[in-house]
Structure 1
Amino acid sequence: MSDHRTKISRRSVLKSAAAATAGALCAPGLIRKAWAAETITLLTWETYHDDPWIAEWSKANNTEVKAVRIGSVDELFSQPFSGAVQPDILYIETGSLPRFKEAGLIAPLDVSKLPNASMITPKLDWKTYASVDGDVVGVPYNWGTQPLMFNADIVKEPDTWAALWDKQYQGKVNMFDDCTITFPMIALSVGAKDPFNLTDDEFTKCEDALRKLRGQIRVIARGFDDAATIYAAGDAVIGYCQNVAVVTSLQSKGKNFKYTLPKEGTPTWIDCAAISKKGDRPIVYKFMNDNLTAEWQARFIKTSTNNGVLNAETARKAGLDEAAMKVTNLLDAESDAFWKKLVVYQKPEDLDRRLQIWNDFKAGTL
C-alpha cells in the first residue's frame, strides 16, 4: 500500500487542506482588488468555475469573486468551521443539504430571485431533493453520475460493482476520499434495499465489504486531478468514479478509459448552489442567476464535460455541438430508462456511523 502520493490511511486530509486554503487566501494574488465594490467567496469544485470566467464576470459586475476549490463533501463541510474561509456560496450535493442547514451553514433560498432557474432541465426533480423542512435551500448548478470507470485496454466492460473486489485487479483499484458519496456505492454493492437507510445487518455487510476492498486499493484519490494522475500512471485500472470528467480527461490524453452504469444502480448527485447567511445579498443572487444562463452553462458543459443543468435542446440552441454532448449524459438523459438506473443522493440515516466506518477503513482498523 506504500506510494509516494496520498496513502489510504491518511487522517490529516481535512487539516492539511484547511491549512493550504488558508495560505492560498492570504496570497498576494488573491488580495481584494481596489476596483471591487463587493467580494463573493465560493466553496466550489475543480472544473466548476474557471478563473477566466470569474475574472470576466468580476470585472463586468464590479465584484471580486474568489473561488476556493475543495475535493470532497467532508472537506466542504469542515472549511467554514476552520476559520480560513467565510463562503457566500457553497456547492453541495442534495443528500448533504440537510446536514449543512442543521449546522447553520446555509440559509433558505429565494428562488424568485433566480429567474434563470427556468433553464434547468425538467428531468431534474430538483425542488424535491433541494428542499429541507419546507425550505428550498439550493438551486442546481450541475448534476452527474458516479459510475464504475475502467481502463478498456485491460478490463472487459463490467456490469457490476463486484468488479472492484475482483482479485485480478488487486492493488489496481482506485477510490476517492469522500465518505458521503462513497458509502452509498458500497451499500448498493451489498444489495441494500435503500442505500440511504441501512439496517444494522446491512451496515455489517458494508463493513465486511470495505474490509475486503482495502486490500484491492493501493492509493486513494483526493480529487479529480489526483485520480486522473493515478490512472494515467497505471497505478489503477478500475475504480469508483468521482466525476466523469476524470474519464474524459484521460481520454483527451489518449488513454482508453470508459465508464459503465452497474446493474445494482449508480449513485447520482445534483450539486446545488446554496447561500450562507453572509451570502444572502443581491450581488450573490445575481452571480448565481448568471451562472444559470444557457450561455454560461453551455460554456461550462463544453469546457468541463460536466452535465450542467440544461436539456439537450436548450444546449443546442446555446451553441453546444453534438460531439460535446456525446461526452456528457445530456443525450442519455432524454430517456426515462436512463434515469431508472440512477440513485439520487439523499440524507443518510446515520452519517456519524458511516464516517466512523470510513475512517476505520482508511486507517486499516476496520
Structure 2
Amino acid sequence: MKRKTIFSGGTAITLALSVVATPALAEGEVNILTWEGYADQSFVAQFEQESGCKVTATYVGSNDDFAPKLAAGGGVYDLITPSIDTTKTMIEAGFVEPLDTSKISEWNNIYEKFRNAEGINHDGAVYGMPYSWGAIAFMYRVDKFPTPPTSIADLWSEAVKGRVSLWDDKSAIYVAARLNGDNDIYNLTDEQIEKAKAKLIEQKPLVRKYWATAGELVDLYAAGEVWISNTWAGYQSSLIKEKGIEVAEFIPKENAEGWMDSWMVVKDTPNLDCAYKFLNMQSSELGQCGVANVNGYSAANPVAAKKCMSPEQYEALHQDDPDYLNSLLLWENLGERIEAYTNAWNAVKSAN
C-alpha cells in the first residue's frame, strides 16, 4: 500500500531519524484483530523500533468477525477495534476489560462526543479508546455518470445493471430503509425490516457483487466491473485513484451513516504493557496521522491531528467541522434486534 505522506518536512525528518536511531529490542509483543490499514508499517515500524513490542495483525472485513474469533478463545489477541455499533456486544460478552485511561496520555484530547459514547462506557467504566471515524459514503466512476448521482436510488437504476456493489454487511438494511423513507434506521420495526429486505432483493439483478473487504472493492472498480457502490469514505477512493481511475464520493440526499472505531483491550491479555504502549502511539500524532495517511479516515484526537496535518487535510477530514460529524447517522448498537437485521441481510444474499 502506497503511503501518502502529509508531515511537514521537519517532522518527517525527525520521525525518520527516530526510526534509524532506535534499536529494535523485541522485548514484547502485541497481537491485534483490526481493520486494514490500522497496523500499516508506515507508522507501526517506528512503534516497534521505539517500544520493543512486535506487532502482529489479523484483519477483519466486517464487525461480525470479531465475536466468533474471540469466542474461539486461546488468548490469540490483545487488542481489537470494533465499530461503535459492536463495542457494547464485546463488553457484554466479557471479551474485553475496562481501560485505565490515566495510562493514555492523550485521552482528554479525544473528541468528547466519542469519549462519552454509550458504546464504550458501561457501569461507570470505559472500555474503548476512540481511534478514527468517518462516513459510509457512496462512490461512483466519474466517466460513467454524465450527471453525478445524488441519491441512494441511483444504485437501483437499470442504467447501472451489473455494475452495482454494496458492502456485504447488515448495514445494507440501513441503506434500503433510508431509500424507503424509514430514517430511524437503528430502531426499525419488523415490517420496516421486511420492506428493506424486499428492496434489496429487488436490487439483486443489478448487483455485480457484494464486496467484503476494502481491497475487493478496489479490484472491482479497477477491473471495470463496478461503477457505483457504498464505501468507507476516503479509503478505497484514494486507492482507486492511485490506479488512474477517477472516482468521486458523495453523501446522498437520504444522508449517510457514520462510524467510529475504538481500540479495546481483550480480557486478561498477557501483553498489557505493550497493549498500552500501542494505545498511546495510536492516540498520538504518529497513530492519528498514520491512519489518516493510509486510510483517509478522520482522527479521533483533533489536537494530535492538527499538529501533523496540513491545514488543507485537517479541513478535508472535517476535523474542525462538528456539524458534519453530528449530521451523520452514527452507528448504534442494535441490542436484541441485531438478529432481525442480520437474518434479513442473510435472506437477501440467499434469495434467487
Query: TM-score normalized by structure 2?
Result: 0.85
The structure 2 residue matched to 1:178, chosen from 164, 169, 183, is 169
Residue type of the alignment partner of 1:341: S
The structure 2 residue matched to 1:335, chosen from 308, 313, 321, is 321
1:126, 1:140 within 8 Å by CA — same for their partners in 2? no
In structure 2, the residue matched to 1:348 is 334
Give the distance between the partners of 1:160 and 1:301, measured in 2 at CA. 27
2:233, 2:249 within 8 Å by CA — same for their partners in 1? no
Give the distance between the partners of 2:260 and 2:326, measured in 1 at CA. 16
In structure 1, the residue matched to 2:54 is 64
In structure 1, the residue matched to 2:351 is 364
1:89, 1:274 within 8 Å by CA — same for their partners in 2? yes
2:194, 2:344 within 8 Å by CA — same for their partners in 1? no
Q: CA shift at 1:68, angstroms?
A: 0.9
Instruction: Give the 5 Å matches for 1:20-59.
Output: 36-59=26-49
In structure 2, the residue matched to 1:153 is 143
Give the distance between the partners of 1:143 and 1:275, measured in 2 at CA. 19
Give the distance between the partners of 1:265 and 1:133, measured in 2 at CA. 33
Q: CA shift at 1:58, angstroms?
A: 2.3
1:116, 1:290 within 8 Å by CA — same for their partners in 2? no
Between 295-304 and 339-348, the greater mean CA deviation after superposition: 295-304
Instruction: Give the 5 Å matches for 1:189-204.
Output: 189-204=179-194
Q: CA shift at 1:198, angstroms?
A: 0.8
Q: CA shift at 1:294, angstroms?
A: 1.9
Instruction: Give the 5 Å matches for 1:1-366.
Output: 36-82=26-72, 86-122=76-112, 124=114, 126-155=116-145, 156-179=147-170, 181-279=171-269, 281-311=272-302, 314-318=304-308, 320-325=309-314, 328-330=316-318, 333-349=319-335, 350-364=337-351
With over 3 angstroms needed to count, the CA separation of the structure-2 counterparts of 1:67 and 1:131, relative to structure 1, is: same
- Secondary structure of the structure 2 residue equivalent to 1:146: strand
Number of residue pairs aligned between Structure 1 and Structure 2? 326
- Secondary structure of the structure 1 residue equivalent to 2:232: coil
Gap runs ≥5 in structure 1: 1-33
2:97, 2:268 within 8 Å by CA — same for their partners in 1? no
2:75, 2:269 within 8 Å by CA — same for their partners in 1? no
Q: CA shift at 1:314, angstroms?
A: 4.7
Gap runs ≥5 in structure 2: 1-23
Give the distance between the partners of 2:256 and 2:332, measured in 1 at CA. 13
1:148, 1:262 within 8 Å by CA — same for their partners in 2? yes
In structure 2, the residue matched to 1:29 is none
- Secondary structure of the structure 2 residue equivalent to 1:254: coil
In structure 1, the residue matched to 2:10 is none
1:97, 1:132 within 8 Å by CA — same for their partners in 2? no
Q: CA shift at 1:355, angstroms?
A: 1.4
With over 3 angstroms needed to count, the CA separation of the structure-2 counterparts of 1:193 and 1:226, relative to structure 1, is: closer
Query: TM-score normalized by structure 1?
Result: 0.82
With over 3 angstroms needed to count, the CA separation of the structure-2 counterparts of 1:337 and 1:39, relative to structure 1, is: closer
1:305, 1:324 within 8 Å by CA — same for their partners in 2? no
- Secondary structure of the structure 2 residue equivalent to 1:162: helix
With over 3 angstroms needed to count, the CA separation of the structure-2 counterparts of 1:85 and 1:51, relative to structure 1, is: farther
Give the distance between the partners of 2:25 and 2:114, measured in 1 at CA. 39
With over 3 angstroms needed to count, the CA separation of the structure-2 counterparts of 1:190 and 1:183, relative to structure 1, is: same
1:119, 1:292 within 8 Å by CA — same for their partners in 2? no
- Secondary structure of the structure 2 residue equivalent to 1:191: coil
Residue deviations 1:238-273, cap 9 Å, x none? 111134300111122221101111122211100000
Give the distance between the partners of 1:289 and 1:325, measured in 2 at CA. 21
Q: CA shift at 1:199, angstroms?
A: 1.1
Between 128-137 and 99-108, the greater mean CA deviation after superposition: 128-137
Q: CA shift at 1:96, angstroms?
A: 0.8
Identity %: 24
Give the distance between the partners of 1:226 and 1:196, measured in 2 at CA. 27
With over 3 angstroms needed to count, the CA separation of the structure-2 counterparts of 1:100 and 1:129, relative to structure 1, is: closer
Q: CA shift at 1:62, angstroms?
A: 2.4
With over 3 angstroms needed to count, the CA separation of the structure-2 counterparts of 1:321 and 1:335, relative to structure 1, is: closer
Between 123-132 and 190-199, the greater mean CA deviation after superposition: 123-132
2:288, 2:299 within 8 Å by CA — same for their partners in 1? yes
- Secondary structure of the structure 1 residue equivalent to 2:143: coil
